[in-house]
Structure 1
């Protein structure tokens, strides 16, 4: 979920493919919410990628977090707060327990509050600053820090300066506070990412300059955590076959159009998306017409050193 601002300078409409374009992608709805200034739309995300916060997929990282009643937890990249609210139900069983959400997307924060997350704010994770009113609300002195920070499906969007993100998390944690997260890791979206690179390169651009994703290896991320002052207590890289109920076209429209393909106009972006879909069909669509991708989930827990 977005926790960093897109390099785009203004909102774009989403690509509308021609009538004879790749079959099977959903018709666009006239009332569909346009992306905000970061390139994200909460309604489109919920429609296309609700699997991100589905119970089976978030259970492993929530087990790793092991939230306790009474804890104060910051959700970095909370999106529309479905997972934040799951954590809130646990910590609120004891007085003082609370979850605060942050996200770079105003659209996501508006939806998070509408869903019932009382305290949430807009912020780029690269420049994490918790508003004074949040600190004033959660406690005084040493209590005005978080017991834990949590993040799901966000850190792989923080490519500009991953270390700055960890340093920001460090600032908001209590001594020996923990950071628990899941993100895309090495080999995430394998095949689809390569197809995007090939399509962008064939049009005369260097895809590495526009690739928005940061998919580190376990070894690389351990080094970052240690540099930032954390002691890793768990690190794993797990493959996960991820069904795409809306199809690969819609996945690309949501996750690549306003990031990887931001330099292209709508017509050319639609052509690229269709090209990638066709090139990936042999590996990502089964005989029944169902789409899926190989995700690699980097999951970790780390404790802030004294």
Structure 2
């Protein structure tokens, strides 16, 4: 008789910049969701699939839930985050060390209607100077929600991530696996390439360029030993384009070089990458433009 299989959907939620994407990447052992030190790096739900023996966990990494939604893209991102909590089997709320902000409380309140068990993952504990403060902090959070588990982790180092995975797996329903064991994401290579380029923009520009850059893959052609990719980077103002391109194109060249390295690792082939920058005023508040870039409030 075949051993029973367990499979379910897990939403990773939290306010911006608490380490949700880093946690997903650590669990999967491969970069699927992009990261940077700037909040709101993740814009799309990214499905990561972890298969371990009879357990298959299908993760949804979400944009950071935020109270402001003054543009179409912010509305989309909040919609993506809150919809991820519907029809899932487990919710993992990620918070940053000893912090419990109004935004954390806002996210916790948005979770309350779900019937799924909620695990609190206290991230970045490796960076705690006063370790003795952790237990009182955990005790203080016990009343915020009916937690299924509270687990301190470090997504960066991997500390206690296996314990978190175990807590998730034991709550998965018994049912057949949804995906082949070797599959780790439902996203296309084109999507992942666009996300890699966007990550390099966020990392290279620091605070100079706000989250007003989007990446559109115009050409993706694979041959025996070479993949040719042309990508268009949209910004909202001429000044942003100037910053992004840099003197004599230096910034754009550096972004392209960094992105090419990761893309070649992803595709396991040589890559010819060409980048262009165009200006589209207020693209982040243009519903039609957002839909053409793969965003949708109803998704």
- Settle same-fold status: TM greater than 0.5: no
Kindly indicate whether structure 1 or structure 2 has the higher relative contact order, using CA contacts under 8 Å at least 6 residues apart: 1
